């Protein structure tokens, strides 16, 4: 940002809208207000990015001279590195801030941090924050572009879009999809965002497989009812496996249980995908996982072509390159 801070930030200001091809998002905060056309545009742009990365020199000058600041209040190697490589492939300059070690530790407010990052020249901020909704507050005070890399249990929009890209590529059309989401559905923002995104399509059936403590939250279920999406809440995994095109496994996240170690111990290890599980699944189906994976998918599953989680991580690079290009 070279416009004066606190003055009208010009074409990237809050009033500006990108109308190219129907795309109208200055930020990527959540997927809830994406139209189907916009989602299609992300998918198509991601496919273009994949082609770029297949060239001998995997770099394009699209974001040359653009300054991207990645600030994560919660550790996440995977999402951070994925955004960093994506931005560098597009020739952006990237600055990393580990918020624990930053001025935030001196007690600075989120708004001050964001306004300062703008003053220090950032055109885009990729942020992850423990507080749900934090990126919305940031977007109100930033003249550039915010990309939400995960906020509390709320949303993880780039993950949802890369998940969708993966399903499209591996299974085909989303209309008519049968998907099981498994594990920590209460605190896993990944599955929440994906459920939201899939609700925009036709005839999708969702199976939420979770222990009572970790059931999908009511706000999502309510949304699905409104959209007339069929969903089933299950506690047993095995009977669901033959029905679905996608098993979306998640990690029971110890760090989200805080002091409730007993609850954590009760929940982990309930749903472990093994070769036996694969045997019950359709031939054309896929196992997904946002990674990192602990014990919830046995290592031997990796050898099966239906193990899609590392391909899924790879797709994240294409989708994030696409989004970095599209918001600009």
Interface ranges with a second copy (CB under 8 A): 2, 4-6, 50, 53-59, 64-67, 69, 75-78, 81-82, 84-85, 88-89, 93, 95, 97-98, 101-109, 111-113, 115-122, 251, 254-255, 291-294, 299, 302, 305, 307, 310-311, 313-314, 316-317
Distance CA 267, CA 184 (A): 9
The residues that are catalytic are 78-79, 106, 128, 156
Beta strands per DSSP E along 49-155? 67-72, 93-98, 124-129, 145-151
Residue 56, class by beta-carbon neighbours within 10 Å (0-12 exposed, 13-18 middle, 19+ buried)? exposed
User: Cβ distance 167 to 177 under 8 Å?
Assistant: yes
User: What's the min distance (Å) between Cβ of 201 and a second copy?
Assistant: 26
Nearer to a second copy, 131 or 236 (CB): 131
The three-class DSSP label of residue 94 is strand
Q: Angle of helix 36-53 relative to helix 309-327, nearest 10 degrees?
A: 110
Give the pair of three-digit tokens for residue 235.
Answer: 């506690």
Structure tokens at 13: 């200001």
Residue nearer to a second copy on the CB measure, 172 or 242: 172
Query: Closest distance between a second copy and the C-beta of residue 218, in Å?
Result: 28
Largest separation between any pair of C-alpha atoms in the chain: 62
Measured from the CB of residue 18, what is the shortest distance to a second copy in angstroms?
17
The angle that helices 309-327 and 157-170 make with each other, rounded to 10 degrees, is 120
Please, which residue, 116 or 132, has the CB nearer to a second copy? 116
The values of phi and psi at residue 308, to 5°, are -105, 5
| 104: nearest Cα among 132, 150, 148, 73 | 73
Minimum CB distance to a second copy, residue 205 (Å): 28
Name which of 133, 145, 146, 127 is nearest 76 in CA terms. Answer: 127
For the CB of residue 21, give the shortest distance to a second copy in the complex, in Å: 22
The smaller minimum CB distance to a second copy, of residues 24 and 311, is found at 311
State which residue, 45 or 66, has the beta carbon closest to a second copy: 66
Least distance (Å) between residue 315 CB and a second copy: 9
Whose CA is closest to 288, among 179, 149, 174?
A: 179
Which residues 6+ apart lie within 8 Å of 250 measured at CB?
Answer: 181, 182, 183, 184, 185, 188, 190, 191, 289, 290, 296
Q: Smallest gap, in angstroms, from Cβ of residue 14 to a second copy? A: 16
């Amino acid at each position: 940002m070279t416009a004066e801070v606190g003055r009208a930030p010009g074409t990237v200001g809050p009033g500006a809208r990108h109308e190219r091809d129907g795309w109208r998002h200055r930020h990527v905060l959540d997927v809830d207000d994406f139209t189907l056309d916009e989602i299609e545009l992300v998918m198509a742009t991601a496919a273009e990015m994949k082609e770029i990365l297949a060239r001998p020199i995997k770099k394009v000058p699209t974001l040359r001279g653009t300054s991207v600041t990645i600030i994560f209040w919660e550790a996440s190697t995977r999402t951070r590195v994925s955004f960093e490589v994506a931005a560098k492939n597009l020739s952006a300059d990237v600055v990393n801030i580990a918020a624990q070690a930053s001025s935030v530790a001196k007690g600075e407010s989120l708004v001050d941090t964001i306004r300062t990052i703008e003053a220090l020249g950032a055109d885009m901020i990729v942020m992850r924050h423990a507080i749900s909704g934090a990126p919305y507050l940031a977007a109100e005070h930033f003249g550039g572009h915010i990309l939400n890399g995960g906020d509390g249990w709320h949303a993880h929009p780039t993950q949802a879009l890369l998940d969708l890209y993966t399903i499209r590529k591996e299974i085909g059309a989303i209309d008519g999809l049968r998907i099981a989401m498994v594990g920590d559905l209460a605190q896993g923002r990944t599955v929440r965002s994906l459920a939201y995104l899939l609700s925009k399509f036709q005839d999708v059936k969702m199976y939420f497989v979770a222990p009572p403590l970790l059931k999908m939250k009511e706000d999502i279920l309510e949304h699905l009812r409104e959209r007339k999406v069929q969903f089933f809440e299950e506690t047993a995994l095995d009977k669901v496996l033959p029905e679905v095109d996608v098993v979306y496994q998640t990690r029971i996240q110890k760090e989200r249980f805080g002091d409730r170690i007993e609850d954590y111990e009760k929940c982990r290890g309930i749903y472990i995908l093994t070769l036996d599980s694969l045997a019950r699944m359709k031939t054309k189906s896929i196992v997904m996982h946002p990674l990192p994976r602990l014990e919830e998918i046995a290592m031997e599953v990796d050898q099966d072509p239906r193990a899609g989680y590392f391909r899924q991580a790879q797709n994240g690079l294409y989708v994030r390159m696409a989004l970095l290009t599209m918001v600009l």
